[in-house]
A = this chain, B = another copy of it.
Amino acid sequence: MTDRPMRDPADEDLTRVDSLAHEIFAGIANKWALLIVNVLGKDTLRFTELHTRIDGISHKMLTQTLRHLERDGLVDRFVHAQIPPRVDYHLTTAGQELRATVNGICGWTRRHLDHVEAARNRFDAGQ
């Protein structure tokens, strides 16, 4: 938004709010984006399929997040010229690479359900 040209890529840092790196990171580090990347996996899914597979996401957020991922080159969008419309989504190579590490977080979550639950009980017990 503000004009801030000629930024040296070397000083791009995730922890600098005004850096490109931080901005890209922030756009990905939210549950809907990560879930979409995870659910897409290696598949090619159409809009409605994603919508049904990702419980709780609104029509609007799905569209919006998919646009964002497409713009950042994580998702390819294929529009079939037919009625009714059919639009397919697929992870790009870069998207696939991200998916690999996102799956790590998903896996971690599933493996630590009990750990977290126990920690919460302990924490809540001591106020």
Contact = CB atoms under 8 A, between A and B. Distances in A.
Interface residues of A, number: 53
A21 B109 contact: yes
Count copies of this chain in the complex: 2
A105 B98 contact: yes
Nearest to A9: B113
Contacts of A35: 14-15, 25, 29
Interface string A95-124: 001101110111111101111111110111
A29 B25 contact: no
B70 A123 contact: yes
5 contacts: A20-B117, A25-B31, A73-B112, A94-B112, A97-B112
